[in-house]
Structure 1
Amino acid sequence: MKLIECPRDAMQGLPEFIPTATKTAYLNQLLQVGFDTLDFGSFVSPKAIPQLRDTAEVLAGLDLSTTRTKLLAIVANLRGAETAASFPEISYLGFPLSVSETFQLRNTNKTIAEALTELAHMQDLCEKNDKTLVTYLSMGFGNPYGDPWGPETVAEFTQNLADMGVRVVALSDTVGVSSPDTIAPLFSQLIPEFPTIEFGAHLHTTPTTWQEKVEAAYLAGCRRFDGAIGGIGGCPMAADQLTGNMPTENMVAFFSSHHVDLGLDLEAFAAAQSYAQSVFN
């Protein structure tokens, strides 16, 4: 079981800039918890995501000497990927590839075809620099634009990624439309169909629907889950203001009740939860 903590996703939409020192201190606390991976920052245009314009400075202040947690940085184009790949501390580069043409254009100003071409270059870059590319299939559970979607569409995208050599694909619920009826069939179909790929769940949720979503993905075989302490963040395009990231503390409780050993330092986790309140409130 892999838990990926996503403070980057929690921070990126906040209007008030979080000081670099505050970000660094929070991330250093998270590094003590024992998460598999920390989605810590992004190398994208500061005009697009001003909150994360200091990712390189934050990275320089992280204490990686005693942690088992690996670092993941989000990129939106090849230039950002080249920058991220130049840092030996970063293990994963994450790229959002949308199943929805409309959202791909809005999110990265590229068509799906253009994004796939760039993604192929990123995969080559990662292989040359000993990195792993994580492809997030955004709008993976449906979209509000009327663009084509269904298990066969997601499988077609996944086949393209598998052909490129991509090894990690996270199905992403960008606007919180997923339900057990869409989550379970997708993972149940894709996991056996693509045995070389590790599938993850990046789910957004309302406070009352988180458990049914996690349970559906877990019972369908998913063993990689993204979350954010407090459920902070999520897509600003979501219609429901209560829709946010999957709360990490809820997942910890869920997996504990299913006797899944996550290997976390629960005291460090409690300290991180406390620190989060000062960062985000």
Structure 2
Amino acid sequence: MERSSTTSILCLHLIVLGIVLVSEVIGVRLIPIGIATVILLPILYAFAMGILLNPNSLKLTKKILTPKAVKMSGVMIAVAIMPFIAKFGTTVGPQMQTIIETGPALVLQEIGNLGTILIAFPVAVLLLKMGREAIGACYSIDREPNLALIADKYGLNSPEGAGAMGVYATGTLIGTFVFAIMPPLIHALGIFDVRALAMSCGIGSGSMLAACSGALVAAIPDQEDTILALAAASNILTYATGLYVGVFVALPLTEWLYRKARPGETRASAA
């Protein structure tokens, strides 16, 4: 049994290595769309191939990858992203003056995360008729710190936990694609400053940060240092302040809105 697990883990590493090599061979591709250009990065190809080779969707990989190996791959994502985050951290120091010049914008951008409540919550409750799952799904973008908050307050087996996990899985599956495609398209509109676009990359997700900042650097290569520094600082602040905003503002606000939308419903009856 132990030998089977070891073989499965070895196969997992070989599959990942193959995906990386193929993605790097394909390289960066530019697709003109009207006034803008969609930039396809290797991370997109790797993500797509990873989905296609998922043991839950492909019988061949299901035969060679054990559940233990699949579980380990989820843990390794966090480990693998750490050197990338550390590299981003080294860009913050040399660009500290630029970061300071952004003033309160970098700190106040956390308010933008409340947009998930204003936009998604009415759709979830009024249009899709969701129950208390809407609280976990809409109070934030549901990355790791937000999941931890929901798990601590409600438990992941609760309706709120189901909503949060659903958005987390959806963000993991398609968030990288969206964040890799949006920056060059929005930049082409000529509405936002490059610094604002860079700050928007830091939403508290390592993979989305990589895709967003990478696409933005590809679109504006002469601003690479500024983009990477502001994106990294924004991501760090999101981690630092996002949890407090969730605890004291976002989650209580979403709870209050849900009680207003469903005044006769108790949590026990909803569960």
Fold conserved between structures, TM > 0.5? no
Whose helix fraction is larger, Structure 1's or Structure 2's? 2
Structure label with greater radius of gyration: 2
Whose strand fraction is larger, Structure 1's or Structure 2's? 1
- With the length of structure 2 as denominator, give the TM-score of the two structures: 0.28
